[in-house]
Amino acid sequence: MSEGDGAAAVLRLFPGSARIDGADLVLGGVAAAALAEEFGTPLVVYCEETLRARARALKEAAAGGHVAFGTKAFANVAVLRLLREEGIGADVASVGELAFARAAGFSGEELVVHGNNKDDAFLRDAAREGATVVLDAPDEAAMAAAAGVKRVLVRVTLGVDADTHEAIQTGHHGSKFGLPPAQARVLVADALARGLDVLGLHVHVGSQLADFDAQAETIVRLASFAASCRDRLGWVPRVADLGGGFGIRHNLDEHAPDASVLAQAAVETARTAFAEAGLPAPEVWLEPGRSLVGSAGVTLYRAGAVKRLPERTWVAVDGGMSDNPRPQLYDAVYTALSAARADEPASERVSIAGMHCESGDVLIDDVALPAPRRGDLVAVPATGAYTLAMASNYNGVTRPAAVLVGSGEARLIRRRETLDDLLRVEA
């Protein structure tokens, strides 16, 4: 298949192991059609090769700093274990995410605990695991000390507006996360007075960042804030946790620099900015989520009803906003490939609708596919992050299964929910 063909172009958005063999999409050496037959649909397929490659590239870019996976992107024990094998830590923001990380073997300095509303129980759990806790509220130094936490970072919000969807901006003025500089400095002083080991500072400007501009500005402001802490408190941060937010491509028109390039730029910018502020180079920590797992995941759907209307052609699939709410929440734009007819021309422009009782339940508004028919297998790339993690049981559907593929084998890493699972929680 030539590089000019539609399927070949879309294939660039798929995991590194993806290829077209005749009519079939193959992932990790396994045909998508065989995966759908064995495990059913919807099915989220993760490529082991891509997960490991992303982890290694980001570790190298961090230049000796700590890299912790933003578990909220996909809390799964098997994926967490794989990332831990590659030297990646875990960033968790709830007792549930901490439980996933613990089950995967994480403990101690591998763990970074977040949350803008941590309660005493969560902080006690974090202390028992020996985690580093990111203080996010004025009274959290007192709460952390009482819970037995030893090591902390302080999250500061520096007023930078990232060029991303407003729902995933986090570093702007008035954000619910972190504290503005004056209050953050008070929190640093309080934490020090309570005997906590204040390792450093934490910032995060937003998610799905398409360039480095907002992060670069934030890092420069962070260095200036760190200098003010030295001048007023006599305290110098040893760690600069720059968060994550590196973007990925979900469609061919979307721009997203390679995450490892952005990570390397973050490290170098921090070192330069801190040096220019008269401060020693900090150890840089990063918390990538989407950029570790997003491009490693592909969702397989089975097409059902096909409606050719004067206004548009609708192709309904057996999932939708219950397994991927990002189009509704963030206006996310995806593309698709006909996974068992990939050798046919993409001759018809269609809209892919979900099965739910919402007119807004549209996965892809406009995509070219071979003339669709009931039973087609549709593959949507770049769905490894914030899809299953945000899945629901809307309309009483069961959440999908997930598999890990590599070297021609597939392993179930999350079973499909059953109707018994849905009814089990009913009183």
Structure tokens at 93: 């923001």
d(CA 54, CA 232): 40
**What are the pLDDT digits (tens) for 377-390?**
999 999 999 999 99
Cα angle, residue 248 at apex, residues 349 and 16 outer, rounded to 5°: 85
* pLDDT for 2 beyond 70: no
Asked which of 37-41, 160-164, 285-289, 355-359 is least confident by mean pLDDT, the reply is 160-164
SS (H, E, C) 180-217: CHHHHHHHHHHHHHCCCEEEEEECCCECCECCCHHHHH
Q: For position 215, what pLDDT does the model report? A: 86
Question: Could you check whether 6-40+296-424 and 48-293 share the same CATH topology?
Answer: no
Q: What percent of the chain has pLDDT over 90?
A: 87
d(CA 137, CA 116): 7
Choose the CATH number for 6-40+296-424 among 3.20.20.150, 2.40.110.10, 2.60.120.620, 2.40.37.10: 2.40.37.10
Cα-based torsion angle of the residue sequence 249, 254, 255, 257 in order, rounded to the nearest 10 degrees: 0
d(CA 11, CA 365): 19
Domain extent listing, the chain: 6-40+296-424, 48-293
Active site (catalytic) residues: 357
* pLDDT for 162 beyond 80: no
Superfamily of domain 48-293: Alanine racemase (3.20.20.10)
Q: For position 161, what pLDDT does the model report? A: 63
* pLDDT for 3 beyond 80: no
d(CA 369, CA 295): 21
Phi, psi of 199 (to 5 degrees): -65, -40
Q: Rg for the chain (alpha carbons), in Å?
A: 23
Q: For position 174, what pLDDT does the model report? A: 65
Query: From residue 139, how far is each of 27, 118, 146, 154, 277 by CA, in Å?
Result: 49, 11, 11, 12, 29
Q: Report the pLDDT averaged over residues 306-326.
A: 96
Query: From residue 230, how far is each of 140, 188, 278 by CA, in Å?
Result: 22, 11, 10
Q: For position 210, what pLDDT does the model report? A: 73
